[in-house]
Structure 1
Amino acid sequence: MSDEPAGLVRPDRRRPEPLWHQAEMALRDLIDQGEWAPGLQIPNEDRLCEMLGISRITLRHALRNLEEAGMLRREHGRGTFVRSATMVAGVRGLTSFTDEMQTLAVSPGTRLLLAQVISATREIAEALEIAEGDSVVQLRRLRLGNGQPIGIQTTHLPSARVPGLFEAASDVTSLYRWLKDNAGIVPVKAKEVYRVGAVAAGDASDLELPVGTPAFEVERITFDQRSPFEFAVSTMRADRYEIRSTLYV
């Protein structure tokens, strides 16, 4: 039919992959290749089943996975739409931003905005359990997903625990990997606090948003077996980053 995308690859029952996985990949390809643009309402379930040659149960499995991956959104009473580039973090382990994006099938990126050694303020010192005025490495980084800005993260680490980090900062892509390989630091737990905030004047240009746009403000203190080693403050674009949780009785 005329509304069938030219690049659609129909699932093949002779292939070893489950039909739901083939259907998910077929629809994902339409989005990735731009045949289904952000904001587009995709065909209804009956039409998709016809196009893909699969059952409704199989289709819903594929659609649910794409929705959880942040590629589709369902609006009750309206239909299903292609999302803009929103990163959806579901059940989350203690991982770096790089690993989290790769888990979501998103290409991670980092742009170093600032690296400096500063004296710990009272807030930083309390978070890292060090003395006020102690030397701290501060990294300010723009975090990217598929080349688009997602957030700005300002990270503080005790200089005594991360020798060489300041000098290597411009080459660090995954901070946690660098810490493991060069400082023997392996995170074991973290505490995070999410607040509703707004994009500050100093962040607006890099985040490509107007000043005052609603955003997530995230504070994170990360620990290894010894002590807290990281205090990070992030501003995340609310239109490109979500947290979803599944609650159990």
Structure 2
Amino acid sequence: MSDEPTGLVRPDRRRPEPLWHQAEMALRDLIDQGEWGAGLQIPNEDRLCEMLGISRITLRHALRNLEEAGMLRREHGRGTFVRSATMVAGVRGLTSFTDEMQSLALSPGTRLLAAYTIAATGEIARALEIPEGEMVVQLRRLRLGNGDPIGIQTTHLPAARAPGLFEAASEIGSLYRWLKDNAGIVPVKAKEVYRVGAVASGDAADLELPVGTPAFEVERITFDQRSPFEFAVSTMRADRYEIRSTLYV
């Protein structure tokens, strides 16, 4: 993959469209035209940035949109590949855990297990579209319904966007409500990935389940009008948390 694709159209800063959109369209064209076929591994981020003449953050925005569109898939430790056609089914409203529990007639609850200020690792930085090493607030919380454990959620937010969050962590019930009231952050969309997983040894006691019990593993990236502001990884009890979808012809 060292040779530059012949059909590549490099983003032009003189054009009115955002660079991330131009990059997304350039990569999409390579896939649509068959220059990058299904199953092919695309160049790594450094090479793509060089080919397109854009920053890593701009590139990640474009790649994330193509992943969401089902055109690319990222495999941990291997790279990013062109995928065959996929079906996306099941659309849910964007709500906080608190609102979701209340809609199910359950009393929501949250217990803060830990709060840290840490430097963003590569995975966190990619999700939040921030430079690696930038400070983020990490909240590890036990989510409850009617006092029973539902799941454990580890949330990461850019510290610069939510001043005071770390100090207020132990008092927060609904995170989204706190962000709206104190940082002016209002979610407009989120992207979620659900996988089948198992309860890890560090989560078993709080979830009141044996180690290895089947569970949902959920990754969520939440956006406001400006950029992604939350990257959350959750382990949800499969016997107390359901995914429901309405499908139409």
User: In which range does the TM-score fall when normalised by the shorter chain?
Assistant: 0.5 to 0.7
Paired with 2:129 and 2:57, the residues of 1 have a C-alpha distance of 52
Paired with 1:131 and 1:44, the residues of 2 have a C-alpha distance of 17
1:191 is paired with a residue whose SS is strand
Structure 1 runs of 4+ aligned residues shifted over 2 Å read 1-92
Indicate how the Cα distance of structure 1 residues 98 and 72 shifts in structure 2: closer, same or farther if over 3 A, else same.
farther
* Structure 1 partner of 2:172: 172
1:34 is paired with a residue whose SS is coil
Paired with 1:50 and 1:121, the residues of 2 have a C-alpha distance of 22
Indicate how the Cα distance of structure 1 residues 217 and 47 shifts in structure 2: closer, same or farther if over 3 A, else same.
closer
Paired with 1:229 and 1:198, the residues of 2 have a C-alpha distance of 27
* Structure 1 partner of 2:236: 236
Percent identity (aligned): 91
* Structure 2 partner of 1:103: 103
Q: Deviations over 1:7-63 (max 9, x none)?
A: 999999999999999999999999999999999999999999999999999999999
Indicate how the Cα distance of structure 1 residues 19 and 91 shifts in structure 2: closer, same or farther if over 3 A, else same.
farther
Paired with 1:92 and 1:226, the residues of 2 have a C-alpha distance of 22
CA contact (8 A) 2:101 2:107 kept: yes
Paired with 2:191 and 2:95, the residues of 1 have a C-alpha distance of 13
Indicate how the Cα distance of structure 1 residues 15 and 234 shifts in structure 2: closer, same or farther if over 3 A, else same.
closer
* Structure 2 partner of 1:213: 213
1:1-249 to 2 correspondence within 5 Å? 92-249=92-249
CA contact (8 A) 1:85 1:240 kept: no
Indicate how the Cα distance of structure 1 residues 15 and 209 shifts in structure 2: closer, same or farther if over 3 A, else same.
farther
Indicate how the Cα distance of structure 1 residues 8 and 223 shifts in structure 2: closer, same or farther if over 3 A, else same.
closer
Q: Deviations over 1:170-197 (max 9, x none)?
A: 0000000000000000000000000000
TM-score by length of 1: 0.64
Where does structure 2 lack aligned partners over 5 or more consecutive residues? Answer: none
Question: How far did 1:93 drift?
Answer: 1.0
Indicate how the Cα distance of structure 1 residues 243 and 100 shifts in structure 2: closer, same or farther if over 3 A, else same.
same
CA contact (8 A) 2:57 2:130 kept: no
CA contact (8 A) 2:57 2:131 kept: no
1:150 is paired with a residue whose SS is strand
TM-score by length of 2: 0.64
Task: Kindly name which structure, 1 or 2, has the bigger radius of gyration based on alpha carbons.
Answer: 1
Paired with 2:15 and 2:160, the residues of 1 have a C-alpha distance of 55
Question: How far did 1:92 drift?
Answer: 2.8
Indicate how the Cα distance of structure 1 residues 48 and 164 shifts in structure 2: closer, same or farther if over 3 A, else same.
closer
CA RMSD of aligned residues (A): 17.9
Paired with 1:245 and 1:51, the residues of 2 have a C-alpha distance of 40
